Structure 1
Amino acid sequence: MSRTLDIDRSDRALPEATTTQRRSLGGACIAHALHDGYTDLLYVLLPVWQAEFGLSYAGLAALRSLYYGTMGGLQVPADRIAARLSIRAALALSTLVAAAGFVVMGLSGGLFGLCAGLVLAGIGSSIQHPRASLLVSDAYGRAARGPLGIYNFAGDIGKATFPVAVALLLGVLAWRPVAGLMALVGLVAAVTLVAVLPRRPLVPAPTRAAKSVAGSSRTGFTLLMAVGALDTATRMGTLLFLPFLLEAKGGTGTTTGLALALVFAGGAFGKAACGWLGERVGVVRSVVVTEAITALLVVALLPLPLVPTLVLLPALGIALNGTSSVLYGTVPDLAPRGDTGRAFALFYTAVIGSGGIAPIAYGAFADRAGETAGLLAAAATALATVPLVLALRGPLKAAQTHTQE
């Protein structure tokens, strides 16, 4: 009788746990799509801001980095502060703050107001990545690699849709009203997060990191952060020059929105494809292949006319964005001392910080040497990851061996 009761309780508990996992993943995906969409819609606005404020490439990159650098630099401190709140409250609040940044941009009358709005939006977005990643990791434990891939994929959905929406809106509205509409979308997302995310704090499921503490090493995690930083630098450099490359080939603002949608749509597919590739051929081999393909395709963009360039962009997106799915899924394997939450915060600090600094360096270089040289520098950065990835073989093998014990 007692055994029967235990089985019944187990059967009743299973749907509840599954629902909690689904709500956690769904909320994390909503937050990721919104905040990544906010980040990448800025690319469509860069030519508009350049024309209005008379900015150089370096100045334009610095303007964007007010958002990106703030978001990256505050990952660890913002995560520590947000840890005092429930993840549900932290994600909803961060979304409201980011939306408020777009309100400030929309109401700005000059460059100073735009800068203030970018900084405020960056503060809001600094909380999302570590908290949402930890939410998914806590909900799924050792089975989190697949859900983390879905979470990563959701970010590309935002990247693919927000730039297109902004590009289309810019055809009928000035950029300030468009910023106000984006703020409204953020408000709706914040309300949705409150409704979707579990009300009670999650009891973390057993993680891979907890079993692989001895096999993990600071060296391995440091290498992983370095690879992530260079991979992000490649992506940011390529995307910085892409709108101007398209304009030089005869493209318009709408063309830029379409081009970014093609890149990020390819990237969304790449997240799934590279995750599959990483599971079957290993992290090292899959990253080496995708980075080499990225460098080749970036160079191939230069001589092509506009239409063939657009045709090539989805393939570029697969390699350009897909690598990150493999890298994010490896964070729990190499988390120092098994502290997955802090590992995610540190990893996102490295990759987002790189995304803030790299465009400034690429922009300054392009101001002197031209857009073509800037794109070639981005391709060279992709190849620079290869020796670092090869050095990861030892730490990954040690972590895998300890996990299997």
Structure 2
Amino acid sequence: MAKIESSEPVARKEKKTLLTGSLAHFIQDGFSDMLYVFFPLWQAQFALSFAEIGFLKTLFSGTMAGFQVPASSLAQRVGSLRLLTAGIVLTSVTVFCWGYAATPLALGVFLVLGGLGASVQHPIASSLISNAYVGVSARRTALSTFNVAGDIGKLALPGTAAYLLLNHSWMSVGQMFGLLGAGIALVIILSQRNVRQSEGAMQAKAGKASGGRLRWRGYEAFWSLSTIGVIDSATRMGFLTFLPFLLQEKGAGIATIGLVLSLIFAGGAAGKLVCGILALKVGVLRSVIVTELMTTLGIFAMILFPLQAAIVFSPFIGIALNGTSSVLYGSVPELVTEERRQQAFAVFYTLTIGSGAVSPFLYGMLSDSVGVKTAVIIVALVALLTLPLTAPLRNKISGKR
């Protein structure tokens, strides 16, 4: 039997791997959702239409989605942790440079580069954490924690940005957050030495499956899960992109918009953790059905409620809006073999983030034609398409049905 080299207890390595992945998720998801606060400012600055605003989101998220699989392959050559850190540095630099964008074209270039940097963290961090934890319960809880870290970033960065924008220009605020990202990258660099020893074995496992493909036959449940993720992501990104404009129609200012987004992301953080654990208790099928129905009803409530009621209701729509994703992410390892986990995560994130990238542009064109309110109603109805897709998941995922 081969001797396993280890300089520290397995449990400590697990925690350090989870911390590294969670920090990456915190800052990258925070940067991604901080864009929603800047969209109304950029619309006024550059006289943009709703379709053009949606296209800016598409540039960032589309690049992030398109490089998921290449990033997974590149990690096997240069090292997962090294690539993870490089991605944070690149995104942080582009956020710092937002203020130097004199035209929408220049801003678009920075968003593309930022999306490139953000593309590495989802498949790599998820795979590292999934391989570090043994057992369905421990792995699902760790991945839920990882997802919560991303939602804490979504909560902290947009809310802080909205507060800072009251007294500073959006150019200066971008520079502040760029420096924050660089600081987090430094923290990860200092902690990498303690988890690198286990990285080689994980990459070797991933390398065995790199030549194959996740075909439909034998992986029907995985592809069904991914399709649900595509619709769920399109719903979430489409709604959040145009929520600030929906709130503006109700009389909200930039500070109120930032508050609502923060409350939604706070609810989302709680929803991801609670729904991830709930899936173990009542099953993935019931969790997905309940959260998607709640999402549709919640979006309608945000449309119909007056501004003050919408603010109070924000955390509840956040729970529904983000709760499904934790259930879906945590189920990926159960639907593929251990050797294909990194590939499966890369494919899953490519599809879901790609959907989230395209949907703002499509819904933006729809908003220009029929108005923001009608477009958001359509977003809510599309979420219901996930319900029949839960059927192939029966008896494929652990937990109660």
Q: TM-score if structure 2 supplies the norm length?
A: 0.91
- Alignment partners' CA distance in 2, 1:351 and 1:336: 21
Letter in 1 for 2:152: I
Report the alpha carbon displacement of residue 387 of structure 1 after superposing the two structures with TM: 0.7
**Residue 141 of structure 1: CA displacement?**
3.1
SS at match of 1:251: coil
- Is 1:148 the counterpart of 2:149 in the alignment? no
The 8 Å contact of residues 104 and 113 in structure 1, kept in 2 or not, is answered as: no
Q: CA deviation at 1:70?
A: 0.3
How far 1:82 sits from its partner (Å)? 2.2
Could you tell me how far apart the structure 2 residues matched to 1:110 and 1:103 are? 16
The aligned residue for residue 256 of structure 2 is 255
Residue 400 of structure 1: CA displacement?
5.2
**Residue 183 of structure 1: aligned partner:** 178
CA distance in 2, matches of 1:400, 1:22: 24
Are 1:22 and 2:22 matched, yes or no? no
Q: Distance in 2 between matches of 1:90 and 1:97?
A: 10
1:96 aligns with 2:89: yes
Which one-letter code corresponds to 2:22 in the other structure?
A: C
Check whether the contact 1:103–1:117 (CA below 8 A) recurs between aligned residues. no
Shift of 1:241: 1.7
Alignment match, 1:42: 35
Q: Normalised by the size of structure 1, how large is the TM-score?
A: 0.90
In the aligned structure 1, how far is the partner of 2:66 from the partner of 2:31? 17
**Partner deviation per Cα, 1:118-137 (whole Å, 9 max, x = no partner):** 01110000001011001101
Q: 1:56-205 counterparts in 2 under 5 A?
A: 56-142=49-135, 143-197=138-192, 198-202=195-199, 203-204=201-202
Amino acid at match of 1:131: I
Equivalent residues of 2:266, 2:318 under 8 A apart: yes
Deviations 1:207-235 (A, max 9, x none): 9xx9xx9xx93221111111001001111
| Equivalent residue letter for 1:178 | V
Unaligned stretches of 5+ residues in structure 1: 1-8
Give yes or no for the alignment of 1:323 onto 2:318: no
In 2, the alpha carbon distance for the partners of 1:18 and 1:297 equals: 40
Shift of 1:102: 1.5
Is the 1:221–1:336 contact (alpha carbons within 8 Å) kept by the matching residues of 2?
A: no
**Which SS does the other structure have where 1:245 is aligned?**
helix
Alignment of 1:283-298 (within 5 A): 283-298=284-299
Q: Identify the match of residue 48 of structure 2 among 55, 61, 64.
A: 55
- Give the corresponding residue for 1:3: none
- The equivalent of 1:245 in structure 2 is 246
SS at match of 1:173: coil
Going from structure 1 to structure 2, the CA distance change for 1:14 and 1:147 (only over 3 Å counts) comes to farther
Which secondary structure state, in structure 2, belongs to the residue aligned with residue 83 of structure 1? Answer: helix
Count of residues in correspondence between the two structures:
384
| Aligned counterparts of 1:363 and 1:48: Cα–Cα separation in 2 | 17
- Contact 1:225–1:347, Cα closer than 8 Å, also in 2: yes
Residue 305 of structure 2 corresponds to 304
Q: CA deviation at 1:374?
A: 1.1
Gap runs ≥5 in structure 2? none
Quote the residue 1:218 is aligned against: 219
Distance 2:382 2:348 in 1: 19
Cα contact 2:220–2:392 (8 A) shared by 1: no
Give the partner amino acid of 1:249. K
Give the aligned partner of residue 364 of structure 1. Answer: 365
AA partner of residue 172 (structure 1): N
- Distance change (3 Å), C-alpha of 1:383 and 1:189: same
User: What residue identity is the alignment partner of 1:43?
Assistant: Y
Amino acid at match of 1:200: Q
Conserved? CA contact 1:99–1:187, under 8 Å: yes
Change (3 A) 1:316 1:14: farther
* Aligned residues of 2:247 and 2:307 also touching (Cα < 8 A): yes
- Determine the C-alpha separation between the residues in 2 that align with 1:179 and 1:13: 41
| SS across alignment from 2:77 | coil
